[in-house]
Structure 1
């Protein structure tokens, strides 16, 4: 609860800093607040907040995912000086909305009650609807905002209908009371229908196919820094909420929903990877890549054991680092070229080698190539699911093999194609290069020595 209060107050201060000098201090205020929140996340929760335990418990798992989300958000704030340079008149609003959305994500890491789950999802989502349409003169950005809002409202309807059925059958909103009811009444039709509706709603939020249809358009139309936030922190929040809900609240009816989830994972892995092959726009390709990773993460529900939460955290962190590594490269290319096609990346390896190497290592990590964090993350998920769902693992390996083809297209464009239109006078800033080196070091270090993850996050 202390972390939520700090981030919320930081968001409010950053918002009102826009009154002075067009909000130029909002980014620094956000960075300072996130650093304080990261430190506080390592401290034991104050006893004062025990009175809220029926709604919200900031335990070890919640603290772990909170630290991961804060680290990723911090990196995005460091990149924001360049990425949001076209939004100087409302930078304070964008930074504060990112922090408000992060607040909702932290609520989802800790919810004990279906009401808290609903509040967390809405706090996470509503700022995103606004940020998706931040480029007011761009019709694609406006389309992204409207489409995200409409699909989000649609998913919320499913969620609330499911909550109503769960409460009507179990008589409680409490996650553990629902868990006990599910164990005692595994064949209750109303309870099962509520479970399926809530699974459907959260499948929208994490972009599991066929509920992914909003993702490519929204990711492509939104400002690229906001897209990166959606691909990382928002996906972390959605999957942790889904994992808590299904493995605690609905574990008693495991057999009723696991086959549905298996079908969603298969559709996601095959559809997203084949669609990724067909793209000519790098940003849209990365959107389908993000959808495919939702399928890989979905394997966490098969063969659940004591390491499942750790495996989920490791994969989400590795995936988020790689996503930031690729997207920071795309942000630079978009700024210079005003487009994000594969051709726009031609020759980037010559003009900005550090940035191109960062993107390449990140793409290799996404593909699951050995000696990268992505390989360790995928191996952990595949090994966990192998005994319980070997067919899913085989399909996931096939999906990973397909993904290599469209990831290599971007790497080949950066290093093996001639280019003469980069404006060499506009070089990448020192901050960008520092972030790039950090991401390279983190991806390779976690790939070679995975235990470093536990050491850095106090596990």
Structure 2
């Protein structure tokens, strides 16, 4: 909870820097606060906060996911100087809203109670509704904000209805008491109906089909840095919250939701990968790619073992690194070209080779090509799921094979069109280059030596 307080106070400081016309310093305030929070996340939790353990506990798993979320947010803040240069009048609000959303994510990492789950989801979601519409003069951004808000409210209604049914059947909001009731009364109709409604709500939050329909439009219409935040930090938060809910609260009725999630995963992998092939816009293609990764991550629910939480964290961090890498390339192209079609990327390797390389390696990692972190992450999930859902693994392998095609389209546009369409004197900043090198090294090193992840983050 110390980490949560630090990030909250950092968000408040970033917000008030805009009040005093010092919004340009909001990013530096945010970076300083995130570094402080990252340091504190490695320290034992203060005993003072033990009184809140029935609602929120910052245990080893919560600390692990908090660390990777903070590191991902830090990378995005370093990108913000360039990505938010068109939002100088309200930079402080955007950075503050990102930090407030991160607070919601941290609540989701340690929730012990369905009330805390609901609070965490809303703290995470409400800033996103605002940030999606940050480009006030862009109709796509306005549409993204409104669509995300309306469908988000609909999903929240399902979540609350599900929580109500769970409480009506078990008489408790506590995850462990729900677990005990589910083990003793696995056929309770009200419990099953509540669980199904909560699965639908959580499937919306992580963009599992057919609850994914908001994602392509929202990801495309939002400012690109906010899209990167949604695709990385929000997905980390949503999936671990989903994982805790199903493997603690509802593990006693595993047979009831085993097939439900399996159907959602198959639909997700089929729709996302086939629609990804049909896209002519790189940002929208990456949106469908993000939906497909929700399907891959869903395999974590099968063949559960003592390493499942670690495998989930590794995969999500590898995906977050790749997301930041490819989105920094997209942000640069979008800033110069005012568009994100595949043709806009032609010849990028001849004008900015480092950006093209980080984008290519990031997409190869997303596709699960060997010697990348994404390959190790997928291998771990697929190997685990082989013990409980072989058919789903085969579908996921087929989906991964299809995804290579639409990633290659963007790579070919960057590297195999000799004519460079980037006729500009503007060059990538030193911060951008350093960040690109860091992501390239991190993806490859974690792909070759995956134990480094445990050495840096796990306890």
User: Aligned-pair distance for 1:100?
Assistant: 0.1
SS at match of 1:25: helix
Q: Which residue of 1 aligns with 2:395?
A: 395
Q: Quick one: distance in 2 between partners of 1:420 and 1:395?
A: 39
- Within a 5 Å distance, the mapping from 1:247-258 to structure 2 comes to 247-258=247-258
User: Aligned-pair distance for 1:423?
Assistant: 3.2
CA-to-aligned-CA distance 1:399-451 (integer Å, 9 cap, x gap): 00000000000000000013343133111100000000000000000000000
The answer (yes or no) to whether the contact 1:147–1:218 under 8 Å persists in 2 is yes
1:305 counterpart = 2:281: no
Q: Quick one: distance in 1 between partners of 2:19 and 2:79?
A: 22
Q: How many residue pairs were aligned?
A: 459
Q: Which residue of 1 aligns with 2:242?
A: 242
CA-to-aligned-CA distance 1:339-393 (integer Å, 9 cap, x gap): 0000000000010000100000000000000000000000000000012100000
Q: Which residue of 1 aligns with 2:102?
A: 102
1:60 counterpart = 2:60: yes
The answer (yes or no) to whether the contact 2:376–2:450 under 8 Å persists in 1 is yes
Tell me the TM-score normalised to structure 2 length.
0.99
The answer (yes or no) to whether the contact 2:104–2:124 under 8 Å persists in 1 is yes
1:29 counterpart = 2:29: yes
SS at match of 2:414: helix
1:338 counterpart = 2:342: no
User: Aligned-pair distance for 1:276?
Assistant: 0.1
Q: Quick one: distance in 2 between partners of 1:423 and 1:175?
A: 58
The answer (yes or no) to whether the contact 2:351–2:420 under 8 Å persists in 1 is no
- Within a 5 Å distance, the mapping from 1:348-387 to structure 2 comes to 348-387=348-387
User: Aligned-pair distance for 1:22?
Assistant: 4.7
User: Aligned-pair distance for 1:456?
Assistant: 1.1
CA-to-aligned-CA distance 1:45-93 (integer Å, 9 cap, x gap): 0000000011000000000000000000000000000000000000000
SS at match of 2:299: helix
CA-to-aligned-CA distance 1:259-281 (integer Å, 9 cap, x gap): 10000000001110000000000
User: Aligned-pair distance for 1:258?
Assistant: 1.3
- Within a 5 Å distance, the mapping from 1:5-404 to structure 2 comes to 5-404=5-404
SS at match of 1:387: coil
SS at match of 1:24: helix
The answer (yes or no) to whether the contact 1:132–1:221 under 8 Å persists in 2 is yes
Query: RMSD in angstroms over aligned alpha carbons?
Result: 0.7
- Within a 5 Å distance, the mapping from 1:407-426 to structure 2 comes to 407-426=407-426
Q: Quick one: distance in 2 between partners of 1:232 and 1:368?
A: 17
User: Comparing 51-60 with 13-22, which one deviates more in the overlay?
Assistant: 13-22
Q: Quick one: distance in 2 between partners of 1:343 and 1:419?
A: 12
CA-to-aligned-CA distance 1:276-298 (integer Å, 9 cap, x gap): 00000000000000000000000
Q: Quick one: distance in 2 between partners of 1:392 and 1:378?
A: 13
Q: Quick one: distance in 1 between partners of 2:61 and 2:28?
A: 28
SS at match of 1:309: helix
Q: Quick one: distance in 2 between partners of 1:159 and 1:254?
A: 19
Q: Quick one: distance in 2 between partners of 1:432 and 1:106?
A: 27
The answer (yes or no) to whether the contact 1:304–1:384 under 8 Å persists in 2 is yes
SS at match of 2:234: helix
CA-to-aligned-CA distance 1:160-216 (integer Å, 9 cap, x gap): 000000000000000100000000000000000000100100000000000000000
The answer (yes or no) to whether the contact 1:83–1:224 under 8 Å persists in 2 is yes
Q: Quick one: distance in 2 between partners of 1:341 and 1:425?
A: 22
Q: Quick one: distance in 1 between partners of 2:104 and 2:406?
A: 33
The answer (yes or no) to whether the contact 2:367–2:407 under 8 Å persists in 1 is yes
Q: Quick one: distance in 2 between partners of 1:274 and 1:420?
A: 30
Q: Quick one: distance in 2 between partners of 1:263 and 1:418?
A: 44
User: Aligned-pair distance for 1:458?
Assistant: 4.3
The answer (yes or no) to whether the contact 1:22–1:91 under 8 Å persists in 2 is no
User: Aligned-pair distance for 1:239?
Assistant: 0.2
Q: Quick one: distance in 2 between partners of 1:408 and 1:20?
A: 47
Tell me the TM-score normalised to structure 1 length.
0.99
Q: Quick one: distance in 2 between partners of 1:305 and 1:458?
A: 17
Q: Which residue of 1 aligns with 2:430?
A: 430
SS at match of 2:56: coil
Q: Quick one: distance in 1 between partners of 2:118 and 2:427?
A: 44
The answer (yes or no) to whether the contact 2:303–2:385 under 8 Å persists in 1 is yes
The answer (yes or no) to whether the contact 1:204–1:211 under 8 Å persists in 2 is yes
SS at match of 2:134: coil
Structure 2 portions without partners, runs of 5+: none
CA-to-aligned-CA distance 1:237-258 (integer Å, 9 cap, x gap): 0000000000000011111111
Q: Quick one: distance in 2 between partners of 1:421 and 1:449?
A: 38
